[in-house]
Amino acid sequence: MTSLELLTTKQVTSSARKEIKRSRRESEKIQILIPNDIVEEIMVRLPVRSLMRFQTASKHWRSLIRSKFFGERHMALEKSKECKLLFFCNDFEEGAVDTHFLKTMDLETSVAEETAFEVEGLERCLKVSQSCDGLVCFYDFTRAVKVLNPATGTYIVLPLSRIQRLWIEREPVQDPNPVPEPLFSLSSFGFGKDSVNGRYKLVWLYNNCPSTTTTCEVLDLEEKKWRFVNTITLDHHSILGNQNPAFANGSLYWLTGNNLGYPTMNTTLIVFDIHTEVFQVIPTPPFITRDASSGHIVLCNLHGRLCISELKGDCKQEFWWRVKNNTWEKIFSVDLRSTSTWFRGITWEPLTPLDIRRDTNKVILSRRYQDNLVALDLDPHSTNCHFYCSCDYGLVVPYFPSLSLFNSIENYNPLSVDLSNNFDVYISVKQILK
């Protein structure tokens, strides 16, 4: 091989090496671009805590996750799954008496996540509303109402209502609508969503004891201002004491009691349309015994439908839900003599259904302010019960994690939330109670 041929070979080899290196550099610059619609389809199926982390990755992702349309799609997918349970309790397992817990439980795995917090002062007066689209309200007479999303760790603080101001200031509030003295009032706090425009509203209904005067204050979460609504329809109708209204299909429902708030034999339903803000008083459905005591009737939301049940004299409780308008369907019945061992032998207080598991055909039952949750197999030939937990809880409600409040309300407050751990709820609740 001549020197010229050797030189040519070296040049070719060198040139080939350079080309390979250049090709490698070019290949390293190539990015795999996923279409935005595919990215959205992936992200809408992620849990809330992952989305809260990913929204810091880019401006586009942040804008997508915070958009109303994305939040509605994500919520719809969450509601298609089995729900979780949200607890607000004051003595879970071996917790201290003055310690409260906000806690969620995944019933498929029976895994519970919790955060302990202490409430100073009138801690036993603090209450939590029913959950609506993953939101709950902390409220009592002495603190401003806080609307909280446990999944995102965001909340907003609302102005004091007139009945709260009267309680705190201990003097009359100048207003054309007189507010009854709260020490002698029966009150009930409701939280729901306008089925027409999607706006969330808080409803505080109370009547002066022992008169029949009923007052109602309403707050639109976008307006953040309490106002009175007409309650003339409720003249001579008092709410039943110690009850949480049921929200279903754009309305709140209460049972009536006597003028002292105790159960009555002439029970009717008070209905408040959240969109029109109009009250109605309607009779109970025909399958409810005509002279049934309101203390033996339970109202609740079950899978988005209004559910009503009555504990009969033979210790059997029938559960019905409204399919549409005035059409009702019986879904199951329970003999409390067969479940009494799970509820301290009590057969004279009705049970509340929290959820029906689609995969196992079991219903989750609870008793107000009681320490057990039981999954009862709806197969009439089965006596199988599954015991979930033991705690003295103030409220336990069906719950779906969502992006509500985070993407619909501009002025919100972030809580101290650890988004890197496995907790669904990790909240310093002392912050929202200050």
pLDDT bucket at 281, cuts 50 / 70 / 90: very high
316 has pLDDT over 80 = yes
Averaged over 234-257, what is the pLDDT?
Answer: 88
Between 27 and 106, name the one with better pLDDT. Answer: 106
Q: What is the pLDDT of residue 4?
A: 47
Q: What is the pLDDT of residue 143?
A: 84
Between 3 and 360, name the one with better pLDDT. Answer: 360
Mean pLDDT over all residues of the chain?
77
- Which residues does 124 contact at the CB level (< 8 Å), separation at least 6? 90
189 has pLDDT over 90 = yes
Q: What is the pLDDT of residue 90?
A: 60
Reported as a single tens digit per residue, the pLDDT across 398-421 is 889 999 876 555 445 554 433 333
Nearest to 254 by CA among 263, 262, 243: 243
Top mean-pLDDT range of 116-120, 295-299, 417-421: 295-299
Averaged over 277-301, what is the pLDDT?
Answer: 89
pLDDT bucket at 368, cuts 50 / 70 / 90: low
Q: What is the pLDDT of residue 200?
A: 95
pLDDT bucket at 434, cuts 50 / 70 / 90: very low
Top mean-pLDDT range of 18-27, 282-291, 413-422: 282-291
Taking the CA atoms of 260, 264, 268 and 272 in sequence, report the sign of the dihedral they define. positive
Give Cα separations from 264 to 257, 297, 299, 367 (angstroms): 5, 11, 15, 20
Could you give the CA distance from residue 106 to residue 266 in angstroms, rounded to a whole number?
40
DSSP 340: G
Averaged over 127-152, what is the pLDDT?
Answer: 88
Contact yes or no for 140/125 (Cβ under 8 A): yes
Could you give the CA distance from residue 142 to residue 56 in angstroms, rounded to a whole number?
37
pLDDT above 90 as % of the chain:
23
Q: What is the pLDDT of residue 120?
A: 46
Averaged over 210-223, what is the pLDDT?
Answer: 84
231 has pLDDT over 50 = yes
DSSP 150: T
Reported as a single tens digit per residue, the pLDDT across 38-88 is 888 999 999 988 898 888 888 888 999 999 899 999 999 998 888 888 877
Q: Identify the weakest region by mean pLDDT among 228-237, 270-279, 422-431.
A: 422-431
332 DSSP β-pair partners: 319
Could you give the CA distance from residue 389 to residue 378 in angstroms, rounded to a whole number?
20
199 has pLDDT over 90 = yes
Between 406 and 145, name the one with better pLDDT. Answer: 145
Joined tokens for residue 205: 């209904």
Top mean-pLDDT range of 134-148, 218-232, 350-364: 218-232
